[in-house]
Amino acid sequence: MQESNMAGWQRKQTSVEKGIVIPDEWPGYPLELFSLPEHYSEDLDCVYIPHGVIMDRIERIARNILEDLGDHDIVVLCVLKAGYQFCADLVDSIKVLCRSSSKTLPMRVDFIRLKSYLNDQSTEVLHIEGAENLSVLSGKNVLIVEAIVDTGKTMKTLLNHVEAFKPKMIKVAGLLVKRVPSGTGYLPDYVGFDISNRFVVGYALDYNEYFRDLNHICVISDRGKLKYKI
């Protein structure tokens, strides 16, 4: 096992890649150190993962994907809405790497939308939009790109839907995996960050459709939850 520390974060390389593990006691960075939209000035507790760190980690994930799947055609299935920024930056990183690599990775991108949250709580009801178009995945190598995996139940439900269309292979890239007591233990094939059970927003992650316009991943404050509650 190889371990390295940076600002209290630990990246563990084992037989299963868990990404950068952010410990429960990680306080995040003070808001005043970053440029943030003024309209969210009192709605956030801290900057949890800065945008530059996110981008660097995505480049590493892109390298891993190219090493594993290079020279195969793949269908990238982006899980909306939260996954759109991660998917766009991941696809861009793979394209850049292909230009300087002996491997190539032809990609087509498709989209599916999932909704299972009300305010800051995951519900038992999962709405899937676009599932009727998944016949294009039949016989294909599929890379599902999801912004966040918490309990793992939503992802397992989606995988069952995708598997019904008989793709050749399925891999999952998750930017964030949240450690929650009710988790199923599901771990994506490619993980950006393993995080504590805090409600994070930004980088297209939302709270009732707000905060998608943040570049950084931040922890929402109690005031923010109350302000945008429905």
Residue 68 is a catalytic residue: no
Question: At CA 124, angle to CA 122 and CA 130, rounded to 5?
Answer: 90
CA atoms within 13 A on the CB side of 17: 17
H/E segment holding residue 228: none
Strand ordering across the sheet containing 9-13? 2-6, 9-13, 17-21, 190-195, 169-178, 141-149, 74-80, 107-118, 121-129
Most distant CA atoms of the chain, gap in Å? 52
Q: Does residue 48 contact residue 28 with C-beta atoms inside 8 Å? A: yes
DSSP 8-state code for residue 140: S
Active-site annotation holder among 43, 45, 89, 150 = 150
Q: How far apart are CA 17 and CA 57, in angstroms?
A: 13
Amino acid at 54: I
| Catalytic residue set | 150
